[in-house]
Amino acid sequence: MKKIAIFLRKELRVNRFSAAVRGALNSPSINNVIICSGFFQEDASYSVSRAKFNLRGRLTSSSPLNLEIFGYYHRQRSAFLRFLGNVVRINRGSPALGVSGYRIPGDKWHAKISIAKINNIPVFASIGSSNITRRAFDNVRNFNYECDVIFWDETVSEIDNIMNEIIGEEAYLFPSVIVANYDEKNPVNATPLPDRILELEREIRRKATPI
């Protein structure tokens, strides 16, 4: 696992961050996904669960998925609970989908992180500025200028194909993407990238409590 992409969102119609996270979430081999956000938009104007978290097609033809949601910031508890409940209802309580929610004592969670694993091995992760809201996670109406970093395992063809399709190949068409490799020769990168992602997950879990 050595591939890194930086997505700089500059226009409404292109949302590579959302495409990458949803691509991993819908990948048939993935059996555990962690999503962390300060805000999950569930209100009269927009429901991110209905817009982006219908997983019924994936759940009927692939391995079971354990989806763990971490949040929220300050007074967002009610929206967070609506999001959790709606994800379960939208997917019709599928036995192939387990959904659990967590909060950070003090309700000051603001990090935007996702981790997707196959048999407890991370093959995809994101760290960035985008919350799970219409402006950051969709491409309708207005949008936020965001920056998100994606890490993925290029040896897992399913994930690598998703990322390559999102990134594309023509540099002049994609001025908002930077792709690099994790340099293990650099002293600060002595720990392999998957291990660092797992340590990040452990830190999140140490701070969180079930909701």
Q: What's the pLDDT tens digit per position in 4-27?
A: 999 999 999 999 999 999 999 999
What percentage of the chain has pLDDT greater than the value 90?
Answer: 82
Q: Is residue 34 left, alpha or beta, with left meaning phi > 0 and alpha meaning psi from -120 to 50?
A: beta
The reported pTM is 0.94
Residue 138, domain CATH: 3.30.870.10
Q: Which of 64, 91, 73, 194 is nearest to 132 (CA)?
A: 73
Quote the pLDDT of residue 147.
96
Instruction: Tell me the helices (H) and strands (E) count for the chain, helix number first.
Output: 7, 9
Domain housing 144: 3-210
Average pLDDT, the chain: 93
Count of domains for the chain = 1
